[in-house]
Amino acid sequence: MRQQDQTLQTVRIWDGPLRLFHWLLVAVVVAMYVTGWLGIEARLWHMRLGYALGALLGFRLTWGFLGGRYSRFRAFCYGPATAWRHARHLLSGTKAPPGVGHNPLGSYMVFLLLLLLAAQLATGLCASDDILFQGPLHHLLPVRWGRLLSRWHSWQSNVLLAAVAVHVLAILLYWAKGENLVKPMCSGWKDVPAGTPQTANLWERGMTLLALWLLAVSILLLAYG
Residues lying near ligand HEM in the complex (CB under 6 A) are found at 18, 22, 25-26, 29-30, 32-33, 36-37, 46-47, 50, 53, 60, 71, 102-103, 106, 110, 113-114, 117, 120-121, 124-125, 127-129, 133-135, 150, 153-154, 157, 160, 164, 167-168, 171, 181-182, 185
Residue type for 73, please?
F
Q: What are phi and psi of 93, to 5 degrees?
A: 90, -5
Nearest to 90 by CA among 10, 169, 145, 30: 169
Q: Shortest gap between Cβ of 118 and ligand HEM (angstroms)?
A: 10
Shortest distance in whole angstroms from residue 11 CB to ligand HEM: 14
| 115 phi and psi angles, rounded to 5 deg | -65, -45
- Give the type of residue at 4: Q
The residue among 84 and 224 lying less far from ligand HEM, judged by its C-beta, is 224
CB-based burial of residue 41 (10 Å sphere; 0-12 exposed, 13-18 middle, 19+ buried)? exposed
Nearer to ligand HEM, 121 or 210 (CB): 121
Of 6 and 130, nearer to ligand HEM (C-beta) is 130
- Of the candidates 101, 20, 30, the one whose C-alpha atom is nearest the C-alpha of residue 55 is 20
Task: Report helix, strand or coil for 181.
Answer: coil
Smallest separation, CB 6 to ligand HEM (Å): 24
Output the smallest distance, CB 162 to ligand HEM, in A: 12
The Cα–Cα gap between 181 and 172 comes to 9
- Looking at the Cβ atoms of 185 and 194, the one nearer to ligand HEM is 185
Q: Which is nearer to ligand HEM, 6 or 148 (CB)?
A: 148
CB of 69 to ligand HEM, least distance (A): 12
How many angstroms separate the CA atoms of 13 and 192, rounded?
9
